A and B are shown apart, each in its own frame.
Chain A
């Protein structure tokens, strides 16, 4: 019996290739979306859930309130705070402090070639190195492969490594031989390995691998970085963790904080400090507290994703239902015959469910195959570490339940409807009569799907326009064919001179400038400018420190006065128009020669020139007062203008290779890292690019799903009206006329969808654009274009069925068997 079901199911599936392909594609789309979102949520929700006693582990965090009432949340602490907490507060089983450290690492080897590892960039990368108190290992449990957890970090100049890190440093020698070996941090901090722990396999934000003993701090230059005397310095890198004693509540500990604050922290008037405990489980999801190692996930976004996944799957299933019932006319005869031959309703239901099951299984197989490639092509939006491991039990359970749920969801209704046909009616060819009533439901579904599609289409167009706008807007400076290199602050400034002189001689280089930042940067520093004359004005301003080539190289336009001269100390200023106006000068010329004082070491000097306004920040923000001054020792970056006569990337490569050789001579120990300036600017809009990518994907999915629904409905209608079409043709209707007649009804649906979608899309895109100080207007043609695109896509979808129906020989459709 079952075998027979499978044979029939398979033949039905393979005979109706178009339906089957659409159904399978639709379902695989739904399942893939579900699967990927499941993997993401599963991944994120599993962060740091494996620590023993995790519900008792908390981080000490701080709220600072300044006199203006602004709250500032700090994930870090004062370096010495955890130790004091341990001494004074009650109800704590353990307290530990640890400090994120960003050192270069050298592993001395027997030969001359020491292994070197670059320092992670603070603020951009996480560092595997922490300086930790021994209590760290009482709160976070590791499996110890070598060394003793209770003593390993007690002495100065000791380090505990994770197994992988030890292997990376020392290769595959036996672990016991690694104990006692030397690791050198930041060139001169020599420490010995005193323990090796097994790496955690679970997802964690605490992926540290080098644990330097805390006792090292007092006995080495590290005490300059980790200040244990000062109670006034809050640092992101200083972390304090506590584990509550069993039975003690968070509130009981937090109650002791105000007294503690009063005792140790003397704040300036108006400043308020509040210490709080943040649960371990909150760290991965709370983005108010920034630190140097954890990655935050927005929990509502995660929930929204889950809802979207369920939604996509349901829509795909509904489309499946639509397509299956659309075929009901053909299937009705089979049902009638089977009933006459003795088939019961139950057996027919099972038969149809098996058909759905096969389609679902094929869809799931396709999903499993494409999931990993899709994940890797969306790496920029999907967190690293999200991968489909097919054989993991959680995934298998998920897949099996998805198969069952989808098969039932998509198969039950058609199975019920089809199996309940009365044989007398269906054998006479009236099988689908009872489905007429439901066409309103189908039509609303199509309108709904197209509304969603149109919102996404409009959104995609607006976002693409805005991105095109910001990337092509005249920013007031040149950004093409310029590369920027930043040098390490620890190098003597004279070396930069050596490097710059060498670069100047390279034929492919037009100009070179030294500066702190580039004209557009997310990291311009700010200070105050004070103009004492004419009533006196004091304003906030951004600034850049640069030499005299800065203005010509970046193509800034001086509209009054002259360029600055290169000097060792700040002597004179070049300001932008906005700054000149903010200082109270009506005309740019009025500013020339006026003496101003800035907040950088109270430097004083005249304004020598005014430049035309340019965008010193991303286009999210308006132009702010900005000035430029020269101060040699702070000019640590260089920008190099490449000659563009060849304009070929090959040509640039050649020049850059020569620059690299110059770099190696000036900075033999440092890595050569450069960035194209236009790329740096594009990176400012990374978030927008990701949004665009997400929108494109969502649009493609929405359009595909809508077309599937529309195709189902078109098929259904064409079949239903087959007799009418036949009669119209006999009476002289042309094929074009019939295609028009069939298409008209659907186009009305798309137009309704456009009317609903337009205000919704306008509202959301308007909100999104508010984030930009410089933005496009959403014009009417955006909606027209989206509408035409949707109509075109809809027509294309319908035409498959309507043309077929229109070309059909009326003799065939009118013949009654």
Chain B
């Protein structure tokens, strides 16, 4: 599904080159559930952002569903990820001014879905996540777990093939975290969504089918279950 070849990322800080990703090569197939682990500053989030096209690598080749991403223009890249990728954040990043319903609806608006279609899709999603009763609430009125649920619903609304999650359970208690992980597993098994998550928790990482350990911007180890 996607392939990174010799990808590096560095910042110029004063006279020093600050290397975040160092010559990473990675192949990810459709249907995988990958957990990226590693200590703080090892480049986990940056790697995730590069995969999600939010950040550009300084060097290397990046292929995604048959497209050479490193050669694409901003607009084409944006079109590509709108179609294939959903994002989940540690801090949920819901839009405070929008209700649950509107938050979930927003990606559809940007992808030019018709009003009636949007309505049906959002209703479906609310139903599936059992948050119909909360659809008119604003994010501030929800608990952290509920907010993350909305965040995931929003990430999934446009039916992405790839779900990227940056410490999705980092701000949640262990029970809420477990529920989210169960949900990810279900999405992966039943709907065939490819998932890449960044996590600190060994327990959560084990929900995945492969664990990649990063250290100082390099792949330290990779093991499959």
Contact = CB atoms under 8 A, between A and B. Distances in A.
Interface stretch (A8-16, A104-112, A449-457): A8-16
A343 interface: yes
Contacts of B111: 342
A504 B173 CA distance: 100
B54 interface: yes
B97 A15 contact: yes
Contacts, number: 58
B82 A424 contact: no
Contact of A337 (B78, B93, B112): B93
Interface in B53-87: 54-55, 75, 78, 81-82, 87
Nearest to A423: B54
B102 A342 contact: no
B147 to A, nearest CB: 12
Contacts of A336: 93
Contact of B93 (A1, A7, A333): A333
A18 interface: no
A337 B94 contact: yes
A427 B45 CA distance: 12
A424 B49 CA distance: 8
Contact of A344 (B54, B94, B110): B110
B107 A342 contact: yes
A338 B54 contact: no
Interface in A202-236: none
Contact of B97 (A1, A8, A427): A8
Chain A interface size band reads 20 to 34
Interface string B4-23: 00000000000000000000
Contacts of A343: 106, 110
Given A427-B93, A817-B91, A340 B106 contact: no
B95 A338 contact: yes
A340 B98 contact: no
B132 to A, nearest CB: 20
Interface centre among B55, B81, B91, B110 (most CB of A within 10 A): B110
B102 A4 contact: yes
Contacts of A341: 87, 106-107, 110, 154
Interface centre among A7, A15, A340 (most CB of B within 10 A): A340
A15 B140 CA distance: 13
Contact of B54 (A11, A424, A817): A424
Contacts of B105: 4
Interface string B35-53: 0000000000000010010
A509 B65 CA distance: 107
Contact of B110 (A347, A427, A817): A347
A334 interface: yes
Nearest to B75: A344
A365 to B, nearest CB: 23
B89 A4 contact: no
Contacts of A333: 93
Nearest to B54: A424
B209 interface: no
B109 A1 contact: yes
A500 to B, nearest CB: 80
Nearest to A344: B78
B90 interface: yes
Given A333-B93, A336-B93, A337-B93, A342 B110 contact: yes
Contacts of A427: 89, 91, 93
A343 B103 CA distance: 13
Contacts of A1: 109, 112
B202 interface: no
Contact of B96 (A334, A423, A817): A334
A12 B95 contact: no
Contacts of B81: 342
Interface in A1-42: 1, 4, 7-8, 11-12, 15
A423 B112 CA distance: 21
15 contacts: A1-B112, A7-B102, A8-B95, A11-B97, A12-B97, A334-B95, A338-B95, A338-B110, A340-B87, A341-B110, A342-B78, A342-B82, A347-B110, A424-B49, A817-B91
Interface of B: 49, 52, 54-55, 75, 78, 81-82, 87, 89-91, 93-98, 102, 105-107, 109-112, 154, 158, 171
Given A337-B93, A427-B89, A427-B93, 13 more contacts: A7-B98, A334-B96, A334-B97, A336-B93, A338-B110, A340-B52, A341-B107, A342-B81, A343-B110, A344-B75, A344-B110, A817-B91, A817-B171
